[in-house]
Amino acid sequence: MAITTKLILRTNKILPDGGHPIVFRITENRRVYEVATKESSLANQWDKRTQCVYSNHPNHKPINALLNNIKVQVTFYFANLKEGQAPRVIAIKNIVEKLTGAIQTTPTRRLLEFFDHEIERLKSMERLGYASVHTMTKSRLSNYMNNVDMAFDDIDLNFIRKFEDWMIRKNIAVTTRSIDLRTFRTVWRNAIKERDCKDTHYPFKDFAFSKYNNPKTKKRAITQEQFQKIANLKLEDDKLVNSRNYFLFSYYCRGLNFTDLAGLKWTNIIDGHLNYVRAKTKEQFDFKLHPEALHILNFYKNMEGNSDDGYIFPILYKRHATVRSKRDRRQKILKRVNKDLKTISEKAEIQKNLTTYVARHTYATTLKARGISIEEIGKTLGHDSPKTTEIYLDEIGDPLFDDRINECI
């Protein structure tokens, strides 16, 4: 996309004093754009070759200073385009309009700077998880940009596509790419709302998000034989014992996720039932506990070093008094638990990437293998429709499928 620029004297337009307006002409693929400089000259005072006024113009010094500044700034803009980045007419027009006073220059934040603003705003609202998502997206963008911030005006569709290509080359998962690009788009929209970016400049309108509408990563479950190997494994390390208990309790409590498990208090146990509100959906659950889940609870009932704040498991304590401290603590323990589960799977000779979420996946596939209906499975998982459960089970797959096929042939 070729763009050429030059200063011209519009001789076809005559001003009241007999002069003609000096305009900055931008040509892109034969389409012409003109920006007024707010200066004028008589025909015999204009030097077409140097694109300045002659010294016989009464205001030649300030006018030529402005015109030369425009040429220098536009040349600087072209010279600083990144490899593969196309020049944009709107960016060039803005340069000229700012220099001529057509646009009142107000301080605007650049992309990475605005990301910081959004992250702090989310933290102030205690939306720490979403703030963390923004932080990770900003980190990848900053890495791609070599830690050099850029103005929104200088970012175009080509930049977004090349950022996507960079993530693909870095083998970043499709789900992560989807999150990053959608977060990038959300930040851009907020920048428009706060007037850090013009509402006419929105390159995401031409970016194809359709390929990210249903990004899938293959979830994994383990067989009942593998599950029992984990349950029966002899462990002496207290950390490994705790991590295994969290995994087993999650399975026996209908795929309870780690955030909800960490937040359980003894007051959630009523007459052998578990009664709690799921953090993600705010839905209330109340069901009779499995005997193995009760056995795990008895293990922690009078355990030395247990929580001093009424929590069942030794994860959260009184010192974790704020939303942020609770979240940071859960993340720290979850990371350790998943590391421990990897050790446990190796000890049990299970060649699967064992994580806390595998317990939820295994719970769902076990019910499916034993003939429980999609509707009933979805109800226990907290899904709002059978379709959601079908998609969920399809993503997990069936660990018994290969065995059933082989038995048939």
pLDDT of res. 240: 96
User: Taking phi first (over 0 means left), then psi (-120 to 50 degrees means alpha), and beta for anything else, what does residue 103 get?
Assistant: beta
Q: Residue 226 class from Cβ within 10 Å (0-12 exposed, 13-18 middle, 19+ buried)?
A: buried
Span 111-212 CATH architecture:
Orthogonal Bundle (1.10)
Fill in the DSSP letter of residue 16: T
pLDDT of res. 403: 62
d(CA 274, CA 290): 10
248, 229 in Cβ contact below 8 A?
A: no
pLDDT of res. 406: 65
d(CA 106, CA 108): 6
d(CA 87, CA 157): 11
pLDDT of res. 24: 95
pLDDT of res. 192: 93
pLDDT of res. 303: 81
d(CA 192, CA 206): 17
Whether this prediction's pTM lies above 0.85 is answered by: no
| Tokens 């077409």, residue located | 48
Question: Does the domain at residues 224-408 carry the CATH identifier 1.10.443.10?
Answer: yes
pLDDT of res. 217: 56
Q: Residue 130 class from Cβ within 10 Å (0-12 exposed, 13-18 middle, 19+ buried)?
A: middle
pLDDT of res. 86: 84
86, 29 in Cβ contact below 8 A?
A: no
CB neighbours of residue 356 within 10 Å? 20
pLDDT of res. 81: 87
DSSP letter string, 296-341: HHHHHHT-TT--TTSBSSTT--TT--SHHHHHHHHHHHHHHHHHHH
d(CA 86, CA 205): 17
173, 217 in Cβ contact below 8 A?
A: yes
Mean pLDDT for back-to-back runs of 10 residues, the chain (409 residues)? 88 92 91 91 95 95 95 93 85 90 68 95 87 95 94 92 95 90 96 89 91 68 92 94 96 94 96 92 91 95 83 94 90 95 95 91 88 88 80 62 64
Residues of the chain with CATH 1.10.150: 111-212
Residues of the chain with CATH 1.10.443.10: 224-408
CB neighbours of residue 13 within 10 Å? 11
197, 125 in Cβ contact below 8 A?
A: no
156, 86 in Cβ contact below 8 A?
A: yes
